Structure 1
Amino acid sequence: MVDFRPTAYVFGRILIVLAILMLAPAIVDWSAGNANAVPIFFSAGITGGVGGLIALASVNGLKGAFDIRQAYLLTAVIWFGVPVFGALPFMLGVPRLHFTEAYFEAVSGITTTGATVIYGLDSMPAGMNLWRGLLNAAGGLGIAFVAMIFLPVMRVGGMQFFRTEGFDTFGKAVPRATDLAKQLLGVYLGLIVIAALTFAAIGMNALDATVHAMAAIATGGFSPRDASFNEYAGAGEYLGALFMFLGSLPYVRYVQMMNGDTRPLWRDSQVRAYVKVLGLAVGTVTLWRWWTSDMGFEDTFREALFNMTSIMSSTGFFSGSFPVWGGYMLVVAFLVGMIGACSGSSAAGLTIFRAQLVWAALIQHVRRIILPGRVAPVKYEGRTVEQDVLDALILYVSGFVLTLGVLTVAMTLTGVDITSSLFAVWTALGNIGYGFGPLVERTGTFVDFPDAAKWIMTLSMLLGRLGLLAIFVLVLPSFWR
């Protein structure tokens, strides 16, 4: 029998932190004399009150380390439950969304997807745009903890491979988890501050620089501008691409760099593969766009660099005319979005690590066909990959592709055209944030999608962020016995 009290206690404490975060946008609007501060203060009161009551009611249940079932349950409760309260400012204040859209927006922020149902961001109160940025920042930090601490132990999609690096932080290693968390927080906040100062230096106002910095490092994609980075073409695109890239590298490598060892970053095979695939995508799209349009080479390169980095890092910012690109560029975008960036970061998709293992397993299988008697184990960075890791990987990749197909068909049944459906599920399941198709072209948002389609996207965002299996396992009766 699962003891729910530890999960409830942690969830209550997280809600208290969420309420404290709400005070920042409330104070911003209050300082500006904007009446929107009142509903945000009210949202903070509700969130903090509920969180406090939950924590008090379950404080006696926190004993020792979490077991594996509690780890699964906690991750699901956090990612499904926190957006309920994160949606309150959107419902009670401007833009006064109904629950479906408010929950969609909050889930998109927390999962660092970046898809939005709000059009008219430029005229929204500053506090509300700050709240969207804070959702991205909080979600990115939370994802980093899940990626580094929970998923390797939960054996989700081959992530147990990383337990061999000594980051198994359950049980006896809890003090190490605390140290790791402190260093990670320092790195994360440091990158945001550096990005914000850099963006301010090129002319962004304080709000734009802060929100864009949080969204870039969290690979979240929420912008306070309807036109995203189009208002900061040029230096803004180059710097935006840089910080999106930095935010999509393995966080553990930054922690190691803080401890004085830079070698693991440069030797990390998934980082090298990430650079190669991204470089290939940017290079080929640049040449194709330059050959087939009348744009100059530098403009074409800059636009391709920014947008391809945004897609592969699963951020969701855009610049130029990329949302209406088609043909070859759209195929490349679809593929790199599916692959994603590095495991152990806030980026999503299948991730480079899984793509590398799939490729290695495929090569091994081909060699066995050619030379049946040859023993050729799959290796990653010189280490043999165990069969249970490969089994989890194959299950995850198969589930990802199958889920993409099933949810796309389900969305077409809501009345959405096939192109908009496919890319809506693609962007949600991969936490990418981009929209393509007829229903997106008018506003660049998902506001024109029917409510049923928005709920499919919301579910897709959560499934993609938690690695599918971390959610599917909860519906198995054997989990609860």
Structure 2
Amino acid sequence: MQRTKSLGLTVPALAPVASLVGGTLLALAAAMVLPMAVDLWARNPDWRAFAVSAGLTAGAGALLVVAGRGGLRGGLTIRQAFILTPATWTAVALFAALPLYASDYAQLRDSFTNAFFESMSGLTTTGSTVIVGLDSAPPGVLLWRAILQWLGGIGIIATAIAILPALGVGGMQLFRTESSDRSEKVLPRVRDIAAAIAAVYVGLTALCAALYWLAGMTPFDAVAHALTTVSTGGYSTTDLSMGGFGPGTQWIAIAFMLAGALPFVLYIRLLRSEGAVFLDSQVRTLVLLLVCVSTLLATWLVVTHGYAPGEAARHAAFNVVSVVTTTGYASTDYLVWGNLAVGLFFALTFIGGCTGSTSGGMKIFRFEIMAQMLRAHFRRLIYPHGVFPRTYAGRPLPDDVVASVVVFFSLFFICYSLITLVLMAIGLDFVTAISASVTALANVGPGLGPIIGPAGNFAPLPDAAKWVLTFAMLLGRLELFTVLILLTPGFWRE
């Protein structure tokens, strides 16, 4: 058997990875048919770009499936799962960029950097965009961006529920489902829960689209925004984002952004009458945070900016929910609300929604565990000989979960600092650099400042900065560890 000494991996060991990546590319090729059909219906020549890209993607996928034939019989090892996760997301982002780059839309056609940035931002549900003039963009491009976010949303749910807990990533093992175990095989978990999660995901998306349509959106806008609302992605079909639609539409968006940020396993349990959603600790904490911050911000708008109470409540709730759930929609340019609002939104960028949801960020459960640890530490300072058990949701907190959360926090801020410094070295100003790095790592979308704020976009940034941010999006979406571990020499040794 031929062996690569530097990697410490045999070719057969990579066969299941190749097979799964190939299967994912075949699914991506099938998804390209939808925007192709829309462009054909609209008589837009971009349908050719989707047709050619679908053929290339399907061909590459078929080759990988054939190359990895038979490799899945024994399941996946932990090591293979670590390789599979970033390999799949990177491959999908690369091939998903092909129709954007091959389109007649100049902003994407003239720069593969822009096409790949837009693709990765969509797939990771970050929502940062380099497109100026969305109102005049081809319908196929707009729909493809929305489809990428929708696919990325369900993809990260499957990853967070089925793969990351088994890998012990960042405390995710706390959310291991009943069908999982600590063995080397992680793939069977996807099959156990995929159908139920997909049904809930599709159902929420369909309901959201129907309500958007009833609220006054065109059918195309309703579908496109439903795909990016439930996935907490934030891509819109207009430069005004949700500010281009009425108050009723914005309240619907608030409800479904929050729905996307809740653990999807809880929906399944709710449908099976196994428990109420709001009994979950993460959900209670998230809702309490949103209510408190939205009330504070609405009061600030009424007192200092003369907003009517109803309007203040809507704008405050919409933008707070959008940022915390990492959706990235905007109903208005909230940077003009004053320094308190700017500082508040910057802090909210780090938080994120619940684990097992479509949202990014550092996740509510990690903040809850850190709060538990801080409280226990302060109590030990007062009562040095006391015994203070650590629990989460009524269960003891294992040491490996606590350690994973602490390491995640440390690693997140190390990566955040390094990315900020690199962006500043490239030439970005301080405000743009610090907000761009966190919005990419947390998969939020808009940053701060006049360039990448809610009223701007990422098109003016140099190509080098876009590549750095593209890597940061993938790094944050896959919870840091699954990407960074591949950069360590020890991982590749036998």
Same fold, TM-score > 0.5, yes or no: yes
Residues 81, 287 of structure 1: alpha-carbon distance in 2 compared, 3 angstrom cutoff:
same
TM-score by length of 1: 0.97
**Contact 2:335–2:342 (CA under 8 A) maintained in structure 1:** no
Distance apart, 1:60 and its partner CA: 2.7
Tell me which residue corresponds to 2:259.
246
User: 2:126 is matched with which residue: 106, 109, 113?
Assistant: 113
Structure 2 residue 58 is matched with structure 1 residue 48 = yes
Q: Cα offset for 1:152?
A: 0.5
Partner of 1:270: 282
Q: CA deviation at 1:443?
A: 5.8
Deviation string for 1:176-229 (max 9, x for gaps)? Answer: 642311111111011100000110001101111011101010011111111111
What is the aligned counterpart of 1:306 among 314, 318, 328?
318
Instruction: Report the Cα offset of residue 94 of structure 1.
Output: 3.2
* Contact 1:233 1:319 (C-alpha < 8 Å) held by counterparts: no
Alpha-carbon distance between aligned partners in 2 of 1:319 and 1:465, rounded to the nearest angstrom: 25
1:353-368 equivalences under 5 Å are 353-368=365-380
Q: 1:383 to 1:415 in 2, by over 3 A?
A: same
SS of the residue aligned with 1:94? Answer: coil
TM-score with structure 2 setting the length: 0.94
Cα distance in 1 for partners of 2:185, 2:491 equals 24
Indicate the percent of aligned positions where both proteins have the same amino acid.
38
The answer on whether the counterparts of 2:162 and 2:190 sit within 8 Å (CA) in structure 1 is yes
Q: Which residue of 2 aligns with 1:255?
A: 268
What's the counterpart of residue 94 of structure 1? 104
Tell me whether 163-172 or 429-438 shows the greater mean CA deviation: 163-172
Deviation at 1:326, TM superposition (A): 3.7
Partner of 2:28: 18
Shift of 1:325: 3.7
- CA deviations on 1:6-43 (whole Å, 9 max, x unpaired) are 00100001001000000100011111211111111111
**Which is further off, 410-419 or 250-259?**
250-259
Native 8 Å contact 1:122 1:226 kept in 2: yes
Tell me if 1:161 matches 2:186.
no
Which of 288, 291, 295 pairs up with 2:307?
A: 295
Q: CA deviation at 1:407?
A: 0.8
Partner residue of 1:412? 424
Matched with 2:404 is: 392
Contact map agreement 2:128 2:457 (CA 8 A) in 1: yes
Contact 2:163 2:187 in 1 (8 A): no
CA distance in 2, matches of 1:331, 1:472: 30
Q: 1:195-210 alignment to 2 at 5 Å?
A: 195-210=208-223
1:311-364 deviations in Å (ceiling 9; x for gaps): 000001111232444411122212222111111111111111000000000111
Q: Using the alignment, how far apart are the partners of 1:365 and 1:117 within structure 2? A: 46
Which amino acid letter does the alignment assign opposite residue 124 of structure 2? Answer: T
Question: Is 2:113 the partner of 1:103?
Answer: no
CA–CA distance in structure 1, aligned partners of residues 110 and 89 of structure 2 = 20
What amino acid is the match of 1:403? C
Q: 2:162–2:186: 8 Å Cα contact kept in structure 1?
A: no
Cα separation, partners in 2 of 1:326 and 1:456, compared to 1, 3 Å: farther
Q: Does 2:381 match 1:369? A: yes
> Which position in structure 1 is the counterpart of 2:482?
470
Number of matched pairs: 480
Q: Which amino acid aligns with 1:383?
A: R
Residues 254 and 94 (structure 1 numbering): CA distance in 2 closer, same or farther, change over 3 Å?
farther
Query: Which residue in the other structure is 2:354 paired with?
Result: 342
Q: Is the 8 A contact 2:443 2:473 kept in 1?
A: yes
Q: Is the 8 A contact 2:113 2:463 kept in 1?
A: yes
The aligned counterpart of 1:211 is: 224
Q: Which amino acid aligns with 1:243?
A: F
Q: CA deviation at 1:272?
A: 0.2
Q: Given the superposition, is the C-alpha separation of residues 43 and 176 from structure 1 closer, same or farther in structure 2, using an over 3 Å criterion?
A: closer
Amino acid at match of 1:259: R
Q: Distance in 2 between matches of 1:477 and 1:209?
A: 48
Q: Is the 8 A contact 1:116 1:446 kept in 2?
A: yes
The reply to whether residue 126 of structure 1 matches residue 136 of structure 2 is: no
Q: Conserved in 1, the CA contact under 8 Å of 2:179 and 2:192? A: no
SS in 2 for 1:59: coil
- Distance in 1 between the 2:454 and 2:369 partners? 40
Instruction: Note closer, same or farther for the CA distance 1:62–1:332 as it changes in structure 2 (3 Å cut).
Output: same
Q: Deviations over 1:421-461 (max 9, x none)?
A: 11111111110011221323596110011111111111111
Instruction: Give secondary structure in 2 for the equivalent of 1:339.
Output: coil
Unaligned 5+ runs, structure 1:
none
Counterpart Cα distance in 2 of 1:10 and 1:175: 13
| Residue number in structure 2 paired with 1:433 | 445
Alpha carbons of 1:130 and 1:194: their partners in 2 closer, same or farther (altered >3 Å)?
A: same
- The answer on whether the counterparts of 1:341 and 1:349 sit within 8 Å (CA) in structure 2 is yes
Q: In the alignment, what sits opposite 2:394?
A: 382
Task: Report the equivalent of 1:284.
Answer: 296
Unaligned stretches of 5+ residues in structure 2:
1-7
Q: Is the 8 A contact 2:305 2:337 kept in 1?
A: no
> SS of the residue aligned with 1:338?
coil
Counterparts of 1:345 and 1:441 in 2: how far apart (Å)?
A: 25
- Which of 167, 175, 187 in structure 1 is aligned with 2:200? 187
Q: Is the 8 A contact 2:361 2:443 kept in 1?
A: yes
Contact 1:119 1:443 in 2 (8 A): no
Amino acid of the structure 2 residue aligned with 1:11? V
After the TM superposition, which of the residue ranges 235-244 and 431-440 deviates more from structure 2?
431-440
Q: 1:143 Cα deviation (Å)?
A: 0.3
The answer to whether the 8 A contact 1:306-1:319 is kept is yes
Q: 2: distance between equivalents of 1:354 and 1:146?
A: 18
One-letter amino acid matched to 1:51: G
